[in-house]
Amino acid sequence: MYLLLPALLFNSSCQTKQKPVLTPAEASEVKKPIVLPDTAIKAAPPATDTLAKAEPAKPAPETAAKTETVAKDPPGWPVKMPKALPGAILPEKRIIAFYGNPLSKRMGILGELEPEQMFAQLDKEVAAWEKADPSTPVQPAFHVIVVTAQGQPGKGDKYRLRMSDHVAEKVIGWAEQKDAIVFLDLQIGRSTLQEEIPRLEPFLKLPNVHLGIDAEFAMKSNGVPGRRVGSYDAADINYATSFLASMVDKYQIPPKLLIVHRFTQRMITNYKNIKLDPRYQIVMHMDGWGNQTLKKDTYRAYIQKEPVQYTGFKIFYKNDKRKPGWRIMAPEDVLKLNPKPLYIQYQ
């Protein structure tokens, strides 16, 4: 499929004509098309449940056997990883996160609704996941974009716009009301993680604040966000996790989480070189949009087939139902994936 240029960066009437640098309030919802490899795995039909309910009378020995379908773990799963430190969120809980920016109604659910309406919607999603998987407690979360990619160079030719601290502070305040955790997300343009992450230390030192990095908008030294998909190498991810590990050591806080966005093959390179450590937990997060078959195939092709540690899955309230016949995946649909995602993001 061809790349849909985010309206964050371009006029809808002419994709080659750039807008001036936009404020977050003018920013539009990031649109991530599903791009499948030629070797994408086709979705398998759901396994038939052959477990029968127990009868009051004890069956004869020859008829007592039950046929049980056991899902086979994909190659590389479960991942061999360090034992989790006290206070680690995964795998004991599943995170249900709302994504966006409170200054924009067009970048995701986090800013689309008034806070009280948004809180109520989050409560509804949390309840749905608790019902679908009662064995896994749910941790609510807010995932806020604090550096947004831009279509114009801006100050320093970085193609990114930093939010004021007020944005992070507002969302952290919301989290306190909802007993939620917070992710600060970076769309760095032509900047670097080395430039953007250290300035977040006043927030990352807090036990309930974590980090997200979006490879789509990591342009290195060339390219314009939205005109092509960016990438991170394992070395970039290792820098981010090393900084998070230093926060854990310096402030004696529980392990940090890193969410890494991905929906194409080239967005993440040298995944086998990504380092694991008990001071942090990594989620490789599938955030492409489309119909259910495409989303599941993308998860298998880029998340399942290149195992790192934990997995995530994104639900788009609008883009996942933008064509006739498409519908938003319910928790029960997502739980059929293997491995089961432990980070679910709604945009």
Domain ranges of the chain: 24-38+74-346
Predicted local distance difference test score (pLDDT) of residue 77: 95
E-strand ranges in 157-237 read: 160-162, 181-186, 209-214, 232-233
In the chain (347 residues long), the average pLDDT of successive 10-residue segments reads 33 31 36 36 32 34 40 90 95 98 95 96 98 98 97 94 97 97 98 98 98 97 92 98 98 98 97 98 96 96 97 97 95 98 98
Predicted local distance difference test score (pLDDT) of residue 71: 65
**Please, where are the H alpha helices in 96-164?**
109-112, 115-132
Q: Quick check: 191 and 155 in contact, CB under 8 A?
A: no
158 exposure class (CB count in 10 Å sphere: 0-12, 13-18, 19+):
buried
106-163 per-position pLDDT tens digit: 999 999 999 999 999 999 999 999 999 999 999 999 999 999 999 999 989 999 999 9
> Quick one: residue 226, left, alpha or beta (phi over 0 = left, psi -120 to 50 = alpha)?
left
Predicted local distance difference test score (pLDDT) of residue 221: 86
Predicted local distance difference test score (pLDDT) of residue 2: 31
Predicted local distance difference test score (pLDDT) of residue 58: 37
Place of tokens 């230390």: 201
Q: How many residues does the structure list for the chain?
A: 347
> What is the sign of the dihedral through the CA atoms of 20, 21, 24 and 27?
positive
Predicted local distance difference test score (pLDDT) of residue 91: 97
Predicted local distance difference test score (pLDDT) of residue 88: 98
- Assigned architecture for domain 24-38+74-346: Alpha-Beta Barrel (3.20)
Predicted local distance difference test score (pLDDT) of residue 155: 85
Taking alpha carbons only, the member of 313, 306, 261, 262 closest to residue 292 is 313
Q: What angle do CA 162, 110, 112 make, to 5 degrees?
A: 105
3-class DSSP state for residue 296?
helix
Predicted local distance difference test score (pLDDT) of residue 67: 38
Predicted local distance difference test score (pLDDT) of residue 290: 94
